[in-house]
Amino acid sequence: MASENNGSTAVETPRKVALVTGITGQDGSYLTELLLSKGYEVHGLIRRSSNFNTQRINHIYIDPHNANKALMKLHYADLSDASSLRRWLDVIKPDEVYNLAAQSHVAVSFEIPDYTADVVATGALRLLEAVRSHTVDSGRTVKYYQAGSSEMFGATPPPQSETTPFHPRSPYAASKVAAHWYTVNYREAYGLFACNGILFNHESPRRGENFVTRKITRALGRIKVGLQRKLFLGNLQASRDWGFAGDYVEAMWLMLQQEKADDYVVATEESHTVEEFLERYFRPAEVDNLKGDASKAKEVLGWKPKVGFEKLVKMMVDEDLEIAKREKLLVDAGHMDAQQQP
């Protein structure tokens, strides 16, 4: 805690408290690191599972019994369970809420559309209502961030800005559009400090392996060390605006530090084809070209990306090459199956 000493008594400044859904995901882990570096106490909501899924935040986890150092705490809750959301808001009393949780895989959303809509769209509504009712009953001000997606623009021609019409092309994208407008509605109807961050594709070495960029870099590493021979390619001409997730979470935080709640596109303003990333798989309804216009975020938030496309790709390839080398050692020693691809 920060303190001031004027020669008499020290005055401690209370830590800000943040509540993060989706804390075990790529964005959640980078955001938690950022918030901890700024002196926050961070509480993450995680779903109950028989399998641990905390590998992205294990490096910053401290046993809660070490109360003076454990500034990140995890709690069981679910966006499908409104009562758990309200309960933790009342217990934690956060200053800021970041809703990053989602079924975020576009292709998978075609296979489980009902679940995707329940978690991504209605889940956001449940959390917004929990925040609203908590603020009414407690008299506290809570700032809310909703994670949007460039997939909401879908078939709309680039460049896409905050005023570009949405044209979602998947159940995931349609659900994100609903969550976006729920957030706008709660801001306008109830005066809630609620922001939408419309984030274009952002990647990192922590990206899930079922996303195309990570599939490519994992395959490159495995091919180089001899664990894989081929990588099947799909639509190489699809174009995306790719940035570094570590940069984008700073934009999330900056949105909640403004005097007025608003919505922002976060993007590099550069577009690259999937051919530059070597692989692509078709979806039932494909999105051809996404390129963001982040001029508002640059002007109002003072935000701009630090990691460019080439540096991002190198970062991911280098990390996955090291993973492939460790995997090769285990395969050669007979401790694991190569599970070699065609």
Phi/psi-derived region of residue 306, left when phi > 0, alpha when psi is between -120 and 50, beta in every other case: alpha
Nearest CA-CA partner of 198 in 151, 231, 232:
151
Catalytic residue among 29, 104, 149, 175: 149
CA pair distance 303, 273, nearest whole angstrom? 25
Q: 125 CB contacts (<8 Å, ≥6 apart)?
A: 178, 179, 182
Catalytic residue among 151, 203, 279, 327: 151
Instruction: State yes or no: is 12 an active-site residue.
Output: no
Dihedral sign from CA coordinates of 73, 31, 312, 266: positive
Tokens of 33: 């690191």
Helices (H) and strands (E) in the chain, counts: 10, 13
Nearest CA-CA partner of 72 in 44, 47, 52, 109:
44
Reading across the β-sheet that carries 193-199, which strands appear in turn?
72-76, 41-46, 17-21, 96-99, 143-149, 193-199, 263-266
CA pair distance 298, 295, nearest whole angstrom? 5
For residue 46, the SS3 value is strand
- Return the bridge partners of 72, or none: 42
CA pair distance 168, 175, nearest whole angstrom? 9
Instruction: State yes or no: is 203 an active-site residue.
Output: no
Catalytic residue among 145, 172, 186, 264: 172
Q: 6 CB contacts (<8 Å, ≥6 apart)?
A: none
CA pair distance 334, 328, nearest whole angstrom? 10
Instruction: State yes or no: is 61 an active-site residue.
Output: no
List, by residue number, the catalytic residues.
Answer: 149, 151, 172
